[in-house]
Structure 1
């Protein structure tokens, strides 16, 4: 049976995306209990900050290795292991009695989390035709944003009802169950049905060694174009929204913490809309580059508007800007649709990992640079207005790099599906 024309592929799609929804929620869920952790474990804010960021460092550092492993050994096994590790890490977190246990749990969760996106992209590429993939990758991106949404009011209510330990234990247990579910959906059932693979499997060809593979990918202009494309649009949203958005609203607009957090919700709504919208537009146009150029230019204009208004746009314009930034983040899933169209499936894993590294590298760098600029102005002049104004130069520069990346991307307009031995150099 042809797996790309079977109805079973939709069971695969739903199972994988449900797992991604739960895993994405655990990226930010610990932020809901920050004050309680500081009180229960008697730790400083800097320790909590490190605890929060360590998962993202692990996630970012493992993207390229995970891409290599997924290409070599297949994505199914690693996605199953990743879901299980994330579940075990979350369960250990719920039983933590010392900050070292919490750190170990978040590292374990980060390792599991590092498996999800690259392997999910490969699994969808194996089960769906290219045109379907371009549309569905947008839904996959929306699922990640829904995971972030799940980790706000719904999970907070769950914590209030059961206490944080029981709430996190429940989430961990569900993720372990997802690991079991994926084993039956991705491995056990397909073995019984005996699906016919569409890709050309080259068993008799000696595998390329890792050094040569890395050298080839790192010297590929197309891969670097998509790296910077993803770098430019992801860091602004993830980096700024997750670290400085709330302080910015409180300091520049005298908002309460609750009011400032609504800015994050506006960005999240934009991300929920942007992912499926631009996936659908690209699928209808049967092209990625032009819609993505529009996204990159719009995000750049959005960040540049902060500079035009000296770091303090009007409140109504501020809402629009956060919405635009969110749409840009949602549309960033197009980076992986571009990978699918430009590279053979045998290289899709490492290239997807390489491109995803670009996005989360900017998400790690932006809060640091933003904070250093703020500290400089606060220590020298005590002027936070100037501090925020000059800090916004950082996302503007990142966005320029993203625009250069997508302009440098050379799109294959002719369909190349099923020609897996073709490589773009």
Structure 2
């Protein structure tokens, strides 16, 4: 039976995306209980800051190794193990009594989280044809945004109802159960109904030496273009929206923390709409590069507007900018549509990991750079306004890097289009 014509592929899609939804929620959920963790475990704010960052650091470092492993041994096993590790890490986090256990739990969660996207991309690329994949990769991006949304009001309500330990324990247990579900869907049930596994997953196949493969990928202009375009589109959104958006609203507009948090919600809504819609547009056009260039330009213009208004655009324009930035961020999934189109299937895992490293590297760098700029101007002149103004130069530069990367992408038209 052909995988890409099997009805079973929709069960695979639903199972993988539901697992991704829950796993992605645990990237930001600990931020909801920062004060409670500090109080209950007697840890400092700096420790909590390191605790939040360690998961993203582990995630970023493991993207290329995970891509190599997924290409060599197939994505199914690693996605199952990743879900279970994420679930176990979340459960251990809920039981933590010491900061060492907190760090161990977040490292374990980071290892599990590092498996999800690369393996998800590979699984969808094997079960769906090129046009379906271009649409569905946008749906996958939307699912990640839903995960972030799940980690706001809904998970806060669960914490208020059960307490933070019981809420995180329940989430971890559910993610572990998803890992068991994936075992039955991706391994046990699949073997019963499908006979033609991908040729490079069969035993006895000769694989290229890892160093030779890495040397070729690192010398590929297309791979670097994908890394840079993902660097530019992801960093501004996750790096700023996820760290400095709320302080910015409070400092520059006098908003309460709750009202400033609504800026993040506006941006999330933009991403939820943008990801599937941009994937659909790309599929209809039969082109990836054209819409991707367009949304990189839109992202660059949005960040530039902050500079034009000295870091303080009118409030009505601010809300529009946050929505558009989120919407344009939804185009980031097109990076992986280009990966599928440009590289052999046996290399798509490592190239996906390579490109994804660029995105999360920028998400790690931008908050730190932005914070250092704020600290400099606050200590030099006492002006947060100047700090935010010059801070916005960073996402502008990141967006320029992304635009240069996407311009250098080479593209073939999608199959089924003239």
TM-score range, shorter chain: over 0.9
Q: CA deviation at 1:41?
A: 1.3
Matches of 2:122 and 2:14, distance apart in 1: 15
Deviation string, structure 1 residues 340-399 (Cα, Å, up to 9, x no partner):
111111000000000000000000000011011111101111111111100100000000
> Hey, what does 2:245 align to over in structure 1?
245
Deviation at 1:196, TM superposition (A): 2.6
Structure 2 partner of 1:95: 95
Is structure 2 residue 63 aligned with structure 1 residue 52? Answer: no
Which residue in the other structure is 1:315 paired with?
315
CA RMSD between the two structures:
1.4
Contact 1:90 1:169 in 2 (8 A): yes
- Provide the rounded CA distance (Å) in 1 between the counterparts of 2:385 and 2:165: 40
Cα distance in structure 1, aligned partners of 2:16 and 2:202: 27
CA contact (8 A) 1:3 1:195 kept: no
| CA displacement 1:188-233 (0-9 Å, x = unmatched) | 0111113434667786663111111111000000010110000001
Q: Secondary structure at the match of 1:332?
A: helix
The equivalent residue for 2:116 is 116
Gaps of 5+ in 1: 417-425
Cross-structure match for 2:351: 351
Matched, 1:272 2:272: yes
Question: Can you list the C-alpha shifts for 1:79-102, whole angstroms capped at 9, x where unaligned?
Answer: 000000000000001110111111
Aligned residue pairs total: 417
- TM value normalised by structure 2: 0.98
Q: Deviations over 1:43-85 (max 9, x none)?
A: 1111110011100000000000000000000000000000000
TM-score (norm. length: structure 1): 0.96
Structure 2 stretches lacking a partner, 5+ long: none
> Which residue matches 1:304?
304
| Contact 1:2–1:197 under 8 Å retained in 2 | no
Residue equivalent to 2:196: 196
1:168 aligns with 2:168: yes
In structure 1, C-alpha distance between the alignment counterparts of 2:206 and 2:185, rounded to whole Å: 30
Following TM superposition, the consecutive aligned residue runs of length 4 or more in structure 1 with deviations greater than 6 angstroms are: 200-204
Distance 1:92 1:205, change over 3 A: closer
Output the CA distance in 2 between the equivalents of 1:345 and 1:329.
26
Residues 330-369 of structure 1 mapped to structure 2, 5 A cutoff = 330-369=330-369
Which residue does the alignment assign to 1:420? none
Instruction: Kindly indicate whether residue 276 of structure 2 is the aligned counterpart of residue 282 of structure 1.
Output: no
- Asked if the contact 1:2–1:198 (Cα under 8 Å) also holds between the matched residues in 2, the reply is no
